């Protein structure tokens, strides 16, 4: 967890540097933490659906504590992001912000209302992970609530005035969140070689569809947002996007390599749990960089 936090912080600093002076380091870092926590929460909420009826209850129980923790981090970071955004909109420092200004921001602005939706989603997931019955109906409900929270913010950003762009970024973000989040959930909940052998093939199928949707949504969103190919290096937004494209390409290559090498070994019980966790950590580290770059992209003017 500490290593993951360092990776996210370093990647957020990189995104800020690439976009400078069109982005705020504080806003980039807070958004990166919030987005990564939301992605992990979505993955932990959804991962029991990969397992069969015989083992699902055990996986739901194992996922509940880290789900509550990640949702708690998501809740706190969303609250921080809401306060920072209200201060920036009002043109004052955070320490001089009062509750009336925050309330006005939440009620009167699209970004504020979207932040409130994400905040509510994080709160529901956190409380339900601790108190709701650990049944498949709860799993489906929490997955849906977390998904709403994940896409609430992107729909009010750069693509708020474009229905096509908004749809593209929602598909892109949700696919990325499922791909990254479910792998993080496997790392946090799966211990034995037999569990990897059972769950990894199902994750591989899910990730393949996620990558297809992610690429389609990303290409469409970039086509709507960019005026020309020169924007990819001439603007802060374009430079962050270029870095994100490069990281996504590396992730696709690594994912395909894991699909052709790690997956057959895990399915045949030839890959130990240690090997599976190590491969997951490497892929998740790259995913964390991509998510932090995406957060930087979202706050770049």
Residue 160 is predicted with a pLDDT of 60
Residue 202 is predicted with a pLDDT of 94
Residue 93 is predicted with a pLDDT of 85
Residue 224 is predicted with a pLDDT of 80
Residue 52, number of CB atoms within 10 A of its CB: 10
Residues 82-96 as b/e (b if ≥16 CB within 10 A, e otherwise) read bbbbbbbeeeeeeee
Long-range Cβ contacts of 202-209 (<8 Å, 24+ apart): 202/50, 202/51, 203/50, 204/259, 204/263, 206/50, 206/178, 206/179, 206/182, 207/179, 207/182, 207/183, 207/255, 208/259, 209/175
pTM of the model: 0.92
Residue 155 is predicted with a pLDDT of 67
Contact 215/245 with Cβ under 8 angstroms?
Answer: no
Residue 301 is predicted with a pLDDT of 60
Q: The CATH number of the domain where 235 resides is what? A: 1.20.1630
Instruction: State the pLDDT confidence band at 150, using cuts at 50, 70 and 90.
Output: very high
Print the domain residue range for 149: 2-299
> Per residue in 197-239, pLDDT tens?
999 999 999 999 999 999 999 888 888 878 787 888 888 888 9
The count of structural domains within the chain is: 1
């Amino acid at each position: 967890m500490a290593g993951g936090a360092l990776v996210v912080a370093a990647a957020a600093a990189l995104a800020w540097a690439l976009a400078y002076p069109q982005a705020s380091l504080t806003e980039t870092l807070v958004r990166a933490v919030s987005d990564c926590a939301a992605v992990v929460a979505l993955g932990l909420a959804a991962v029991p659906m990969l397992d069969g009826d015989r083992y699902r209850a055990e996986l739901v129980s194992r996922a509940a504590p880290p789900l509550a923790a990640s949702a708690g981090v998501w809740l706190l970071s969303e609250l921080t992001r809401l306060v920072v955004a209200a201060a920036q909109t009002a043109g004052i420092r955070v320490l001089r912000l009062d509750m009336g200004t925050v309330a006005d921001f939440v009620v009167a602005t699209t970004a504020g209302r979207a932040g409130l939706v994400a905040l509510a989603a994080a709160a529901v997931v956190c409380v339900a992970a601790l108190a709701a019955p650990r049944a498949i109906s709860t799993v489906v409900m929490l997955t849906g609530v977390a998904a709403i929270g994940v896409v609430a913010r992107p729909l009010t950003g750069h693509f708020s005035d474009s229905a096509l762009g908004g749809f593209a970024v929602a598909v892109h973000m949700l696919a990325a969140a499922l791909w990254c989040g479910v792998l993080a959930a496997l790392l946090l909940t799966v211990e034995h070689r037999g569990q990897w052998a059972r769950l990894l093939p199902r994750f591989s199928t899910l990730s393949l569809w996620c990558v297809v949707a992610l690429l389609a949504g990303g290409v469409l969103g970039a086509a709507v947002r960019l005026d020309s190919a020169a924007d990819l290096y001439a603007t802060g937004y374009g430079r962050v996007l270029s870095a994100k494209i490069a990281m996504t390409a590396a992730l696709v290559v690594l994912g395909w390599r894991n699909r052709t090498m790690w997956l057959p070994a895990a399915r045949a019980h030839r890959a130990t749990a240690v090997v599976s966790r190590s491969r997951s950590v490497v892929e998740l580290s790259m995913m964390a960089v991509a998510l932090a770059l995406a957060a930087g992209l979202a706050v770049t003017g």
